[in-house]
Structure 1
Amino acid sequence: MTEPARQAPALRSDRSGFPTLNQRIFAPFKIATVIDTVAERGISAEAVLARTGLTLADIRDPHTLTSIGQYLTACENIVKAGAGFADAFSIGSRLHLSAYGMYGYALMCSPTMRDFFDFAVRYQPLATPTVRLHWRVEGDVAIWEFREIYRDFMSDDVRTFLLRQQMKMTFTHIRDAAGTDNLAVRAIFSLPEDEWSKEDARELSCTCVYDGEANELHYPVSLLDRTPALGNRLTRSMLEETCERLIGQSRIASGLSGELYQRLLSTPGQFPSMPEMAAQLGMQERTLRRKLALEDTTYGAIIDDVRRKLTMEYLQTTQMSVDDVAWKVGFSDSANLRRAVRRWTNGTVGQIRAGKVQGAGR
């Protein structure tokens, strides 16, 4: 490593529990794509990586972990070095689903495009997100919405650059999954119209509207029923298990909820009440509740997830009796444990021990 990365204040996505800016949990594929793209216009890798604390060797190492803050810094560097919106579109067109590891492959294997939309939103924290994805149906269109979540940490030029990049990325991902003939019917930008507006329409192959209240891409609602060329329900289910584990690892490492996960996992079966946990942390119960709400979770949900993780581990890796497992994870009896297992996995204890329940490892 070279100089330390910029230390930006921790900020979670629109109060949702997304990774913080400095949390290093992402493979370097996005930064690598930026480097390769702008090299063609004479911007060096060293210029791209200035102030990120990363070297080119780090970026070429698939085991390197990077943060959203480092990616924002890299984009800030290239904009200052002269990269324009054409480069934003070029980066977006190169970030195919195949660049996103398990997340991208799972999306390509979606049984339907509706499943694709749902999965993309649910597991988006695996994709070095700079916006938060949402989707909805209104009349005859399926709408992607891109909510800005780190806006306070970038200049207007970088913000505009990243919004255009995101639009092109989503355009690329839909074509990767559903075919090149599946195009948006409209793009809405919260940005003012500028000299690049005609280029937006050309790059996105649709009408573009400006000064909107949101940033959106609209597709024909019929797209939701399309089957991706590589759609395979079983393969997607297997890949989803991996994505769920990765999401779980991110959750355990992040914020106040991450601290609670670590505390509870280290003392299985001993789950303090919320007032007791708040006292341990030196805060009021209402303060703990409010801070967890900002991370889009609750103390009860964290305890339930910890119980699930511990239960699956004990059932799959030990010969403990069901009564002992129940006691170990804080259930009053085995009947309550069996009901919880059914709720978590839609399977039984016996099926989990036999490895016959999809998703039991989540």
Structure 2
Amino acid sequence: MTNKQPLLNERIYAPYKIAALVETLGEQGIAAEACLEGTGLTLNDIYHPDTRTSVRQYIAVCQNAVTLSSDPVTPFQVGKRMHLSAYGMYGYALICSPTVRDFFDLGVKYHRLATPTATIEWREDADSAAWGFPETGGLTTSGKVRQFLLEQQLTQHVTHIQDVVSATCFPTRICVAHPAPAHAALYEQYLHCPVQFGAPASEIYYDRTILEQKPQLAHRITSSLLQGTCDRLIGQVKTSSGVAGEVYQLLMHGPGRFVNMEEVASKLNMTSRTLRRKLDADETTFAKITDDVRYSLANEYLRTTSMSIEDIATALGFSDAANFRHAFKRWSGKSPSAFRTQVDIDEGPKKNKNHIPS
């Protein structure tokens, strides 16, 4: 099986979902090499702490699972073993939420950190709190894979609520958009509630009173600190994935001469209008990415070199040092000189700083 290899800037997620799926298939006697075919990953890779993977690589493993396994229980078993502790800072931020309502809000806000295969949303009705799971869209054209992903998503969602509230907290009902499959009995077995097939949309319903409950490990201060970490991680995702990531990397590789949007679009084999539309879809703009790149480079130059403010301004493509100082104050809240002074206080004077020519 051959799959299009993802760009390096798409590989931003720890491989915990891939590992859970490979382990589940391994228990069925399916070799890891077969599970990972077409992904460029090895068994060692998925357990290495530095490995980063893409959504496309995970979809490829799901496609392999559908081909290799005839057991319909697979996605349910994967979802059941996907506890929040496997999700890094995102998972711990959810676990520490002050209330279940906060957990729901944060789950949506930071879902981009969870190797997402679909969007998620929730709403509050008169007597229920309902989660919605729209289709996977362009991630896969296979109906079998889309159903596999939804079955896993529903099960891991129920698992997450149990992690936060209690092991006996179950939905009141679940609606599924696709028709009842031959293995329909597995839904109630793993989701612990009545399931309606052929519904207008796929949704999970909980009693509305759950929203004000306090999670088992709720801690307001810890939750706030972890949300700050998640905010920074979301920023990294936005500048590391998709077309936005490609633009970011093109600009990072050419400091000193910041090419315009038309030139970047040409390098990406698209028109500037198409590039603008794709960046809109990534919830960013060319100007914001340029600012991110300039700030990252300025931060590095001020921390690790003895370059003058004027030389840094030139290296970052500013017309003069005054414009750079104004921009840096907007980015960081400090002047470049004050920032460098604070670095020296925090880290001690840097010896043997290299002057990087512009």
Contact 1:133 1:146 (8 Å CA) reproduced: yes
1:230 maps onto 2:227 in alignment: no
Q: Distance in 2 between matches of 1:35 and 1:70?
A: 13
Q: Distance in 1 between matches of 2:2 and 2:41?
A: 8
Change over 3 Å in CA distance of 1:263–1:34 after alignment to 2: closer
1:7 matched residue in structure 2: 4
1:85 maps onto 2:72 in alignment: yes
SS in 1 for 2:106: helix
Contact 1:108 1:176 (8 Å CA) reproduced: yes
Unaligned runs of 5+ in 1: 11-19, 343-348, 355-362
1:27 maps onto 2:14 in alignment: yes
2:35 matched residue in structure 1: 48
Relative to structure 2, which stretch is displaced further, 97-106 or 298-307? 298-307
Q: 1:278 aligns with which of 258, 262, 271?
A: 262
Q: 1:104 aligns with which of 77, 84, 91?
A: 91
Change over 3 Å in CA distance of 1:187–1:61 after alignment to 2: same
1:218 matched residue in structure 2: 205
Q: Distance in 1 between matches of 2:63 and 2:9?
A: 16
Which amino acid in structure 2 is aligned with residue 213 of structure 1?
P
1:127 matched residue in structure 2: 114
Q: Distance in 1 between matches of 2:312 and 2:213?
A: 44
Which amino acid in structure 2 is aligned with residue 224 of structure 1?
L
Contact 1:24 1:65 (8 Å CA) reproduced: yes
SS in 2 for 1:136: strand
Q: Distance in 2 between matches of 1:42 and 1:181?
A: 32
Which amino acid in structure 2 is aligned with residue 277 of structure 1?
M
Unaligned runs of 5+ in 2: 344-358
Contact 1:310 1:329 (8 Å CA) reproduced: no
Aligned-residue offset at 1:263: 5.3
Relative to structure 2, which stretch is displaced further, 205-214 or 292-301? 292-301
Aligned-residue offset at 1:230: 1.1
1:39 maps onto 2:26 in alignment: yes
Change over 3 Å in CA distance of 1:106–1:308 after alignment to 2: farther
Which protein has the larger Cα radius of gyration, Structure 1 or Structure 2? Answer: 2
Cα deviation code 1:218-274 (max 9, x no counterpart): 1222222222111112222322333333333332222332243345567889988xx
Q: Distance in 1 between matches of 2:41 and 2:67?
A: 18
Q: Percent identity at matched positions?
A: 43
1:176 matched residue in structure 2: 163
Cα deviation code 1:123-172 (max 9, x no counterpart): 22222222221222232222211122355625222221221111000000
Q: Distance in 2 between matches of 1:217 and 1:21?
A: 35
Q: Distance in 2 between matches of 1:163 and 1:178?
A: 23
Q: Distance in 1 between matches of 2:283 and 2:90?
A: 22
Which amino acid in structure 2 is aligned with residue 25 of structure 1?
I
Relative to structure 2, which stretch is displaced further, 226-235 or 263-272? 263-272
Aligned-residue offset at 1:313: 7.4
Contact 2:238 2:245 (8 Å CA) reproduced: yes
RMSD (Å), alpha carbons: 3.8
Contact 1:182 1:223 (8 Å CA) reproduced: no
Q: Number of aligned residue pairs: give it.
A: 332
Q: Distance in 1 between matches of 2:286 and 2:252?
A: 14
Q: Distance in 2 between matches of 1:62 and 1:231?
A: 27
Aligned-residue offset at 1:216: 1.3
Q: 2:182 aligns with which of 195, 198, 211?
A: 195
Change over 3 Å in CA distance of 1:280–1:69 after alignment to 2: closer
Change over 3 Å in CA distance of 1:270–1:129 after alignment to 2: same
Q: 1:140 aligns with which of 120, 127, 132?
A: 127
